């Protein structure tokens, strides 16, 4: 393996690009879960976002509309989930699973006419700097705007939850919807908003896949990334910064193990393939050992059905 400094920079850039959909979806789901709602439909919302973004790109030839549309469609499909679980009081787990199955089927149906159409070049920023600055160039430059947004998002989310009044309300609703309701907080409004926000972020994560990462539409193209995002939220003990760390470790080891194979290291390939999952769990468990902090971050009412007694 050639270990020149530029190569490492390129590697880090590739790792960052591969973790973007995980960060976006996980940060969205994190807000949803902090309000006490467990939405297992991440994969379904992502794939709907992926096809809507791609379809809009093909139809309108406008990438801005495509990205906005993918967020909107993720949001719209999450309304179904919100209606069912919050207003009709269905079980969160079952409804979320149904949403995923629905999303995958629905996207395949919409996508029938969009198979085999090549994607459009997505504009990348600071491409000239990427080439000219050694090492740091490929890390910081030459990415899409969505990547920069994704890397800002965990910090914004953290700030929002910790330092804003609305963030406090979200956490209050997640910890004890009954007390929050007694304080005069509109629990349903808060939870609806959080679910819809989560849906929009998952839609964006899907659009990143179909418009930027592998610019095309193929059925099932999310390939289980929604489930990994869900797991990240739990293993990161609902902390946005740890979500970012987890996503980078997962993306990093996924890419590194491919390089190790290409170099011809004599490690069993099956072990290498399992490595991202194992390492991400180990690291997140180790950095989240503090049980006091876990208690502080865990939304106590997660997945429980709430209804206001009249």
By the criterion CB under 8 A, which residues form the site for other proteins?
Answer: 1-2, 7, 10-11, 14, 18, 108, 111-112, 115-116, 118-119, 209, 213-221, 223, 225, 254-255, 258-259, 261-264, 266, 268-270, 273
Q: Are 55 and 108 in contact (CB under 8 A)?
A: no
What is the closest distance, in whole angstroms, from the C-beta atom of residue 264 to other proteins in the complex? 4
* Minimum CB distance to other proteins smaller for 19 or for 239: 19
What is the closest distance, in whole angstroms, from the C-beta atom of residue 154 to other proteins in the complex? 21
* Minimum CB distance to other proteins smaller for 3 or for 184: 3
C-alpha–C-alpha distance, residues 64 and 60, integer Å: 10
C-alpha–C-alpha distance, residues 4 and 138, integer Å: 13
* Minimum CB distance to other proteins smaller for 241 or for 258: 258
Work out the burial of residue 69: count CB atoms within 10 Å of its CB; fewer than 13 is exposed, 13-18 middle, 19 or more buried: buried
What is the closest distance, in whole angstroms, from the C-beta atom of residue 27 to other proteins in the complex? 19
Contacts of 218 (CB under 8 A, 6+ apart): 115
* Minimum CB distance to other proteins smaller for 88 or for 263: 263
Residue 112 DSSP one-character state: G
C-alpha–C-alpha distance, residues 110 and 173, integer Å: 36
What is the closest distance, in whole angstroms, from the C-beta atom of residue 136 to other proteins in the complex? 17
Reading the block at residue 257, the tokens are: 């193990």
User: Is residue 18 helix, strand or coil?
Assistant: helix
* Minimum CB distance to other proteins smaller for 38 or for 66: 66
What is the closest distance, in whole angstroms, from the C-beta atom of residue 59 to other proteins in the complex? 18
- Report which of 176, 144, 165, 146 is spatially closest to residue 27, judged by C-alpha positions: 146
What is the closest distance, in whole angstroms, from the C-beta atom of residue 107 to other proteins in the complex? 11
The string over 2-11, giving b where at least 16 C-beta atoms fall within 10 Å of a residue's C-beta and e elsewhere, is eeeeeeebeb
* Minimum CB distance to other proteins smaller for 97 or for 260: 260
């Amino acid at each position: 393996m050639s270990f020149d400094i530029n190569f490492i920079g390129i590697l880090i850039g590739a790792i960052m690009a591969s973790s973007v959909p995980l960060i976006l979806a996980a940060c969205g789901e994190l807000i949803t879960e902090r309000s006490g709602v467990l939405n297992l439909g991440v994969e379904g919302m992502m794939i709907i976002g992926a096809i809507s973004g791609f379809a809009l790109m093909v139809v309108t030839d406008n990438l801005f509309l495509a990205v906005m549309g993918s967020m909107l469609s993720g949001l719209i499909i999450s309304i179904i989930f919100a209606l069912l679980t919050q207003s009709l009081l269905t079980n969160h787990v079952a409804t979320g699973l149904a949403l995923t199955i629905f999303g995958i089927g629905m996207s395949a149906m919409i996508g029938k006419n969009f198979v085999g159409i090549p994607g459009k070049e997505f504009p990348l920023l600071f491409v000239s700097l990427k080439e000219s600055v050694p090492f740091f160039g490929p890390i910081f430059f030459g990415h899409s705007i969505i990547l920069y947004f994704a890397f800002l998002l965990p910090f914004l989310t953290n700030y929002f939850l910790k330092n804003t009044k609305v963030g406090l309300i979200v956490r209050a609703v997640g910890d004890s919807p009954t007390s929050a309701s007694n304080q005069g907080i509109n629990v349903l409004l808060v939870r609806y908003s959080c679910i819809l926000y989560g849906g929009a972020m998952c839609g964006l994560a899907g659009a990143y896949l179909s418009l930027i990462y592998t610019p095309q539409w193929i059925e099932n193209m999310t390939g289980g990334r929604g489930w990994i995002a869900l797991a990240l939220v739990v293993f990161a003990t609902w902390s946005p910064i740890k979500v970012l760390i987890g996503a980078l470790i997962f993306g990093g080891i996924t890419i590194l193990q491919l390089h190790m194979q290409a170099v011809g290291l004599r490690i069993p390939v099956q072990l290498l393939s399992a490595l991202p999952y194992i390492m991400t769990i180990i690291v997140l468990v180790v950095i989240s050992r503090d049980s006091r902090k876990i208690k502080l971050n865990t939304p106590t009412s997660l997945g429980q059905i709430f209804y206001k007694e009249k």
